[in-house]
Amino acid sequence: MADYKLFTSCLWQTTSAVVSTDDRLYLFDPAYFPHEIEAIADYVQNVRDGRELVLVLTHGDWDHIAGYPRFPDARLIGHKQIASPERLAKQLRKTNRFDGSYYVHRPYELVPPLFDKLVEQTEAWEEVKFLPVPGHKQDQLATLFCAQKLLVAGDMLSNLEFPFIADSSDYAASLAAIQKLVEDGEIAEVVPGHGVPAKGREEIMHRIRRDQQYLHDTRTLIFEGVAAGLDEQTLTERFGQICYDGQPINEHLRDAHEQNRVQLMKEAKSLTG
């Protein structure tokens, strides 16, 4: 398996992976609380051994970008759309709001990052391949360590969450692209943005298929319901009965499920004009 160290925040089990190659250390989404980020920084310092540090932000959500200023000498990489000033400013305001609400003090200022490299399409770079995987957010970027067959996926394929949708069609396409890489033997382990890694073809395919099933069930209900002229109350009630991986939606994730309904309603109405 791949040579990496995984740090997991107590906030939403947000993951921060440090992947070692001969010439570089790759750090993903250092999160979240200052003492957790310090533990990551200590580890990086201890194992770096003169190697270049590459910091990849998988996407621009506030819980994933709070730690980047702690690593000022890292080469910073993200998807092209992550650099939107409006999106970054909004997400940093969310970070500051959360920190302020819980009296979290950071020893650095959260300012919009300056990226050294922005990725727009699938691209081989050094020993990795960058794969845009929109759907959860349009600026989401996965990183494939080709020799190690390790995919750092961002907010996909979690053991804790069903798909949180920004664009359901893009999400389905991203899942299909990852599925093909797994079937072709190019991926043997996946690190999600929250939760524990999926190891081996069987476990990865299980996560892919249950997410595909959730997308199919939710899209079918809303798209066909809107096309048939069903009222929103009926669709809301039926949507609340949808299961994920054979189980009712966790009560703590009901709000996210409802947000998916709202997004799918927008998509369905745009199709019907």
As a whole number, mean pLDDT of residues 196-209 equals: 98
As a whole number, mean pLDDT of residues 5-21 equals: 97
As a whole number, mean pLDDT of residues 91-106 equals: 96
pLDDT for 101-126, tens place per residue?
999 999 999 998 999 999 999 999 99
% of the chain with per-residue pLDDT over 90: 95
Q: How far apart are CA 110 and CA 137, in angstroms?
A: 21
Is pLDDT of 56 > 60?
yes
- DSSP, collapsed to helix, strand or coil, labels residue 125 as strand
pLDDT at position 271 is: 84
Tokens of 196: 């524990």
pLDDT at position 272 is: 76
Question: Are the C-beta atoms of 194 and 13 separated by less than 8 Å?
Answer: yes
As a whole number, mean pLDDT of residues 114-139 equals: 96
Is pLDDT of 273 > 80?
no
Is pLDDT of 162 > 60?
yes
As a whole number, mean pLDDT of residues 27-54 equals: 97
Following DSSP, what letter does each residue of 184-248 receive, concatenated? Answer: TT--SEEEESBS--EESHHHHHHHHHHHHHHHHHHHHHHHHHHHTT--HHHHHHHHTT-EETTEE
* CA 151 to the chain's CA centroid: 12
Strand order in the sheet with 198-199: 123-125, 128-132, 141-145, 150-154, 189-192, 198-199
Is pLDDT of 15 > 80?
yes
Expressed in angstroms, the distance from the first to the final Cα of the chain is 49
pLDDT for 1-12, tens place per residue?
458 999 999 999
As a whole number, mean pLDDT of residues 58-81 equals: 96
Give the DSSP H or E segment for 65: helix 62-65
pLDDT at position 2 is: 57
Is pLDDT of 143 > 50?
yes
Q: Is 0.85 surpassed by the pTM of this model?
A: yes
pLDDT at position 1 is: 47
